[in-house]
Amino acid sequence: MGTPQRRTVRDLRRGNRAMLLRALYFGGPASRNDLCGVTGLSAATVSTMTGDLLADNVVVEAGQVDSDGGRPRVLLRVNPVYGYAIGVDVGETQVRVELFDLEMKERARAHYAVRSARHDPELVARHILTGVDAVIAEGGISAGQVLGIGVGVPGIVEPGPDALVRAKTFGWEAVPLGALLRAGTSLPLYVDNGAKTMGQAELWFGSGRGTRDAIMVLMGSGVGGMIVADGSIYRGAGKAAGEVGHLKVVAGGRPCRCGARGCLEAYVGAEAILERAGVVADSADEESALAGVLESGSPVVSETVEMLGAGLSSLVHLFNPERIVIGGWAGLMLGGRLLAEIRAATAANTLAQPFHGDSIVLGRLGADAVALGAATLVIEAFFREAAFRQSVTTIA
């Protein structure tokens, strides 16, 4: 049994500053009095911390509000141009690179087509690095103002400096994407599974906001997911939890791109839907081809809804989530037309007690959710590092 780690005064101050910064980021603008109520910190502590953050320009004043009989209260917020975050979505058909300010407003974007049959790691890395330079130039900022680069990729990402990626659909086996990118940039780099970055974006800003137990399902050419348990992303022992697309829905069923059979992805991923409908489409035409199948009244559509309902039912029984959020371009296309049918198919396979039909909702952030979520990896690090810098400064 491990020995409990003793917390120091520095640790306490750092934790308090991070909590204060998060409160301002997600709930601001707010007065110092508001921050006392939200964080539970004393007025003296909040005053000292906000003074430090104002001095460093991390926080700025955002106007005043009248108080009950006293002086107007000054509102504070995180400075939206203190720094910038770059989010990258490495998808089946393109690499999308976007620049965001700290209010997560998009300032610039670049995208590069890739062929789904050939995701050469070096080419993908070059696209990302070229895109980073392009959005920095288009945004009219310097590289020194960028807090970091977040990258969302398919497959399993092993933590560590090399960010090894195992993505069978790309033919990647332990590709050191982090090392490839660090050879071309000195900016801080954060790499995670794309379904998880989409899920975090929806959790922070979209349909998952306010939930503590949720499932995020990303449906594109393939299918991925993220599990939120008690307010945190559940990653599992090998950091690979959330592979929703590889739930088995048919024993010995259709072959999946992962090499197994009967996976959910082999029935409800866009590529699989088109194959089952007998539609041949280039990866660049996949979206328009799927729209045509959904509008055609093909029996494949109702079969897809049934399979998705069976898969979601398994998630309900396993995790009892408050909410299931369906995102990704194919998920939004399917759910935008057939959400009621998806809810009904899930209910038909689920015990009544843990399921509420309206708990299945569509993502609100659209096709940009993976890149936006990748940028939140940078913002998470910003919270930690801003708190650390203030802690060191105060104690020094």
Instruction: Please tell me the total number of residues recorded for the chain in this structure.
Output: 396
User: If pLDDT is split at 50, 70 and 90, which confidence band does 392 have?
Assistant: very low
pLDDT in tens, 308-328: 999 999 999 999 999 999 999
Token pair, residue 162, equals 């090399």
User: Residue 193 pLDDT more than 70?
Assistant: yes
User: Residue 391 pLDDT more than 70?
Assistant: no
With CA atoms as reference, report the closest residue to 239 among 309, 192, 273. 192
Mean pLDDT estimate for the chain: 90
With CA atoms as reference, report the closest residue to 209 among 237, 183, 234, 231. 231
| pLDDT the model gives residue 394 | 43
Cis preceding-peptide flag for 29 (omega within 30 of 0): yes
Domains along the sequence of the chain with CATH: 9-78 (1.10.10.10), 84-197+370-389 (3.30.420.40), 209-364 (3.30.420.40)
Which residues partner with 61 through β-bridges? 76
d(CA 157, CA 375): 17
Q: Do the Cβ atoms of 92 and 285 come closer than 8 Å?
A: no
| pLDDT the model gives residue 70 | 67
Token pair 């400096």 is found at 161
Which residues partner with 167 through β-bridges? 172
Q: Look at the pTM and tell me if it is higher than 0.85.
A: yes
| Section 163-178 average pLDDT | 91
| Section 8-25 average pLDDT | 83
User: How many CB atoms are located within 10 Å of the residue 320 CB?
Assistant: 11
| Section 180-204 average pLDDT | 95
- What is the CB-side half-sphere exposure of residue 109 using CA atoms within 13 A? 15
Token pair, residue 293, equals 């199948």
| Enclosing H/E stretch for 338 | helix 329-348
